[in-house]
A and B are shown apart, each in its own frame.
Chain A
Amino acid sequence: MSKLERLIMKSGDAQQPFNYAVGMHGSKFFNALKDKKILGIKCPKCSKVYVPPRRVCGPCYEEMNKFVEVGPQGVIGTFTILRYAFIDPGTGERKPVPYGYGFVRLDGADTLFQHYIDISKESSLKIGARVEAVFADQLKGMITDIKHFRTID
């Protein structure tokens, strides 16, 4: 190494592993997902149904505990198609492109649910198109138990 070269020092493959708490609401959601059910939660004050379920309705500052089943169908709220391969911080690898990503308003829900959107029929992808959840073969109680959403006619 020449005298002037030491400008950059690499961190190496530094890792910071975490055990993220899912919480009781999340836990219920993921258990239901294993049965191919999607749960939202309803605010007792404003009646808004939130997906994913969480404890507090932000605008009302009320605690929620009324779970309701939503979906598995819904409409595309908005979406995009990723064409550039960004790095996934979970794996350190580039995500294979292209892939669809968007927000689905599940039937019965008031907030949007973020997930992958199947782009094999790209021309059918429109805001407002009806979609349904496609479940993975193995259900592990994770967000990827839903493989993606695909358009239905």
Chain B
Amino acid sequence: MENAAIIGVGMTRIEANKIRDTFADLAWEAVNKALDDAGMNMDDIDNIVTTSNDFWDGRTISCMAVSDASGAYDKNVSCVEGDGTFGAFYGLIRILSGSYGTTLVTAHSKGSEGISSLITNATFDPIYERALGLDMITGCAMQAGAFMHRTGTTAEQLAMVSVKNHGNARHNPLAQLPMDLTIDDVLNSEMIADPLHKLDCSPVSDGCCAMIIANEERAFQYKRDPVWIKGVAFCSDTYFLGDRDLSQARSLTEAARKAFAMAGIGNPANDIDVMELYDAFTYQELMWLEAMGISADGQAGRDLEEGRFAIDGDLPVNPSGGLLSGHPVIAAGLIRIGEVVKQLRGEAGQYQVKGAQRGVAQGVNGRCGQSHCVWVLDKNK
């Protein structure tokens, strides 16, 4: 893959209800932060990719709301409907195709404006599944149960993910839910859908992220040291939950395999310094770590107990607090990438992972980890 880099990042705070902000307001904030961060102005942006979801926004052609605010007036623009990691991928592809030197990628959602269970119920098949009233939480609860059953991962180990991530969030000024928790706090929190307690679940949040990607030549023309994109891959599994083994994430294994190969990562557990993963639920962080080969199958819970993934551990995972501490859907994956960029630049302040050179961000699209996108970033070219 030709060299390309991320040269600007801007994010709004993640909040439960940004009542004063329209989608356009969020985009304006994030985009201007990204432009300032990069030392660029809108004329330096060659094309734009926005990422949004019509159901979450309550509007078909959801991208229409943010085009002016994202600078798309007289530029080539497109819209990805899916997690922000996929939007960023398309933004990168438009550079690798040789058509553009810089792409501005945005991703937004305001979970506060709709009813999330109705919105996620709409991801279920209208003929066979929808009338059962399933939503993202119930679907993932089933997956959590399958994962715990197959691997022996315990409720306490799940709870530890929540303790770690909410704890990390205390040092992230943009996070929605910094919290000082114990394992018992999590286990005693309200049971939403067995085995997921309230504190096993991410909240439904509002937020927006913007990112500027550049080809090698343009990457050096602005303010920041570029953060290099060394590998990107994505892969989708089957749709019907019963068509696959829910306790394994083989599409993530495939995506990670490809991305790591592109980046020349032979031993992921050792070669990666920091990870920002899609922890929509506690069990997912453990499942994704195993699927990517960071932990042996069934061992992520034990590795967590041993402190491996703590902010001062061997391989810090979600030092930003992850989605458990703030989850604006769609923007979520782009924020994961943005947080890795911060780490590799040494800008993560009080949640900085010392000496981070190479990091991985991961995003999820669809239900129960059907489709994954993995990014490998490096401080060095």
Contact surface of A with B, Cβ cutoff 8 Å: 9, 11, 15-24, 26, 54-59, 61, 63
Tell me if A21 and B21 are in contact (CB < 8 A): yes
1/0 contact string of B1-43 vs chain A (CB within 8 Å): 0000000000000000011111111001000000000000010
Tell me if A16 and B67 are in contact (CB < 8 A): no
Please report the C-alpha to C-alpha distance between residue A22 and residue B19 in the assembled complex, in whole angstroms.
8
Tell me if A61 and B42 are in contact (CB < 8 A): yes
Min CB distance B136 to A, Å, is 15
1/0 contact string of B62-80 vs chain A (CB within 8 Å): 0000011101111000000
Selected A-B contacts with CB under 8 Å, 28 pairs? A11-B130, A15-B118, A16-B58, A16-B114, A16-B115, A16-B118, A17-B115, A18-B113, A19-B112, A20-B113, A21-B18, A21-B19, A21-B20, A21-B21, A22-B22, A23-B22, A23-B25, A24-B25, A54-B68, A55-B25, A55-B69, A56-B28, A56-B68, A58-B67, A58-B68, A58-B73, A61-B42, A61-B71
Query: Is B348 positioned at the interface, with any CB of A under 8 Å from its CB?
Result: no
Tell me if A19 and B113 are in contact (CB < 8 A): yes
Q: Using Cβ atoms and an 8 Å threshold, which residues of chain A touch B115?
A: 16-17
Q: Using Cβ atoms and an 8 Å threshold, which residues of chain A touch B42?
A: 61
Q: Using Cβ atoms and an 8 Å threshold, which residues of chain A touch B68?
A: 54, 56-58
Q: Chain A interface secondary structure, helix, strand, loop or mixed?
A: loop
Interface bracket on B: 20 to 34
Contact surface of B with A, Cβ cutoff 8 Å: 18-25, 28, 42, 55, 58, 67-69, 71-74, 110, 112-115, 118-119, 122, 126-127, 130
Q: Using Cβ atoms and an 8 Å threshold, which residues of chain A touch B119?
A: 16
Give 15 A-B pairs besides A16-B114, A17-B114, A21-B20 with Cβ atoms closer than 8 angstroms: A11-B130, A16-B118, A18-B58, A18-B114, A19-B113, A20-B113, A21-B19, A23-B21, A23-B24, A24-B25, A26-B22, A58-B67, A59-B74, A61-B42, A61-B73
Please report the C-alpha to C-alpha distance between residue A33 and residue B20 in the assembled complex, in whole angstroms.
19
Please report the C-alpha to C-alpha distance between residue A9 and residue B130 in the assembled complex, in whole angstroms.
11
Tell me if A55 and B24 are in contact (CB < 8 A): yes
On whether A56 and B24 interact (CB within 8 A), knowing A16-B58, A18-B58, A21-B113, the answer reads yes
Q: Using Cβ atoms and an 8 Å threshold, which residues of chain B touch A22?
A: 22
Tell me if B69 and A56 are in contact (CB < 8 A): yes
Tell me if A63 and B28 are in contact (CB < 8 A): yes
Q: A15: nearest residue on chain B (CB-CB)?
A: B118
Q: Which 7 A-B pairs have the closest CB atoms?
A: A58-B68, A18-B58, A23-B22, A58-B73, A61-B42, A56-B69, A21-B22
Q: A63: nearest residue on chain B (CB-CB)?
A: B28
Tell me if A21 and B110 are in contact (CB < 8 A): yes
Min CB distance B62 to A, Å, is 12
Min CB distance B181 to A, Å, is 30
Please report the C-alpha to C-alpha distance between residue A112 and residue B272 in the assembled complex, in whole angstroms.
55
